[in-house]
Amino acid sequence: MEYLEKVDWPFIWSIVRDTVIPHSGTLIFNTLLFLFLGFAISLTYSIVIAKKKLLKRKPKYYNWAVKLYIPIIILSFLYIFGQIGLIRGIYKCLEKEKTNIVSGIYTNTLGFAFETEEAKNNFIGEIQATAIDTKDRSDEFIFQLRKESKNHNSGYSLIDSGKNKIADYLITKYGTDIYKAGVYAMLNFAIAHAAHTNMDEVITYGDFSAAMDFLMSVGHKDIEQVVLEKLNDWFTSLLDNQYSAIIKPLYMLALLVLLFPITEFFIYKKWVEPKLLEKELAAAETQENSPESTIN
């Protein structure tokens, strides 16, 4: 009761009202489908184990007791598959409303940063300023590299001329990439020591480089689209993971229900039936050796 009092029922009802009720047909269809599926599987299974004589026992009371497996299996499967159908129905409803849910998440969280066009432009301006600053620093970096490469001469003009030309060409052509690679390496080093993981496990250098270039020409519409796509991927992953986490134990429970009669029959054949046969043989021998049977 204490737990139920803490539940935010108005919030739960608002979710059901806005996402489930508009697709009540999907919810009902999935629930009925899985109820029928559970009934069909349990009935077929009951017929099979009955034909295979897995429900035959020696003592009468035992023989009648194991017949209760049939209604127990059917009712258990109706309960389990009814839950699976209900959960799958809700999952399908949420999946159909995914676009609206993601839009709602964006509007009520990140969307506050983009309430007006001015706010959007300011936000993008700050991002681009960071990218431009990085580009300026890479230009400075290229200049210093070219300067330093010329200062480190070997003293042999022929060698230095060729070396300097190659270095100057590579630095001029790939200086920005060299700078980005250096920044990436330093970030990787910092993350590896702080979080004990490599940056390339999270984002590859190619993605990092492309992101740096993208920030130079991005517009707020592009940012919004990327954010919505990432939120959509996140919500899809969350929905699938939650669905799997709830459904798997129910399927495991259904499997245990199916295995129980087989396991019990194995125990009966392995240990119970031999003891019953021993008792019957002992009783028969006792009856044969009794005075009454000798007189007769």
pLDDT of residue 160: 46
pLDDT of residue 244: 93
Buried b (16+ CB within 10 A) or exposed e, 94-114: bbebbeebbeebbeeeeeeeb
pLDDT of residue 250: 95
Mean pLDDT of each 10-residue bin along the chain, 296 residues long: 53 70 90 97 96 88 91 96 94 88 71 62 64 59 54 45 54 61 62 59 66 61 75 87 93 96 93 85 74 54
pLDDT of residue 21: 78
Alpha carbon separation from 150 to 41, 157, 171, 293 (Å, rounded): 81, 12, 12, 122
Contacts of residue 159, defined as CB under 8 A and 6 or more positions apart, other chains included, come to none
pLDDT of residue 162: 45
pLDDT of residue 3: 43
DSSP 55: T
pLDDT of residue 222: 72
pLDDT of residue 256: 96
Measured at the CA of 162, the angle between CA 160 and CA 167, to 5 degrees, comes to 90
